[in-house]
Amino acid sequence: MISRISIALMLALAPMTAFANQCPTMMAAIDAAMPNASLSEADMAKVKELRAQGEQLHQSGDHAGSEAALGEAKKMLGI
């Protein structure tokens, strides 16, 4: 009985850790795409702002907010 509960808890928590680990992957993709991006200065500034905001939110534990900000930056970069 206890092992079933332990397994259920591990399965329930697994998506949370996977979600948290997605933020660094998104930041790396943004960092890789920025040098070759053909955006206006204003758009590039916005991408950098969103990237920084995403990192800050990730570090504070707000992974949903981080993913939203990083997703917007990726959208602007076309990735």
DSSP code per residue over 8-58: HHHHHHHHHHHHHHHHHHHHHHHHHHGGG----HHHHHHHHHHHHHHHHHH
Using pLDDT thresholds of 50, 70 and 90, give the confidence band for residue 11.
low
Of the two residues 46 and 4, the one the predictor is more confident about is 46
Q: Does pLDDT of 3 surpass 80?
A: no
Residue ranges per domain, the chain?
Answer: 2-77
- Split at pLDDT 50, 70, 90, the class of 20 is low
3-state secondary structure of 66: helix
The one-letter amino acid at 13:
L
